Amino acid sequence: QVHVVESGGGFVQAGGSLSLSCEASGSIFTIVAMGWYRQAPGKERELVATTNAGHSTNYADSVKGRFTISRLNAQNMVYLQMNSLKSEDTAVYYCNVRGYNSERKVFDAWGRGSQVTVSS
């Protein structure tokens, strides 16, 4: 079984910065991709940023230039640095990890989420 745990987030005023961390553990053979998604009240979950084993990255247009995703392969960790935060960034942020487990089967695991609140 693969476990995903987020940390960080919190409350900040508009224009401020926050960071999120995520660690995957358990029966992992290899991780293919890690990423961050968010869900605001009354809205569907949406992609924020993803990164793969080759460290290539993909960002939602709404966060480009403000958010940075980075990955530490050796420790199965991924980070999200969020700068110039806006009130519309307020959401629960979820970490997603995809790869192959120790039985060489595909897994797609999610964390429980971390609240980010930006006041205007």
- pLDDT value at position 73? 77
> What does pLDDT average to in each consecutive run of 10 residues of the chain (120 residues)?
96 98 96 97 96 91 97 89 98 98 97 97
Residue with tokens 């991709």: 33
- In the sheet that holds 67-72, the strands lie side by side as 2-8, 18-26, 77-82, 67-72
Residue with tokens 């029966």: 27
- pLDDT value at position 53? 80
Q: What is the DSSP letter of 68?
A: E
Instruction: Give the SS3 label for residue 24.
Output: strand
- pLDDT value at position 74? 78
- pLDDT value at position 23? 96
- pLDDT value at position 108? 98
16 and 118 Cβ atoms separated by less than 8 Å? yes
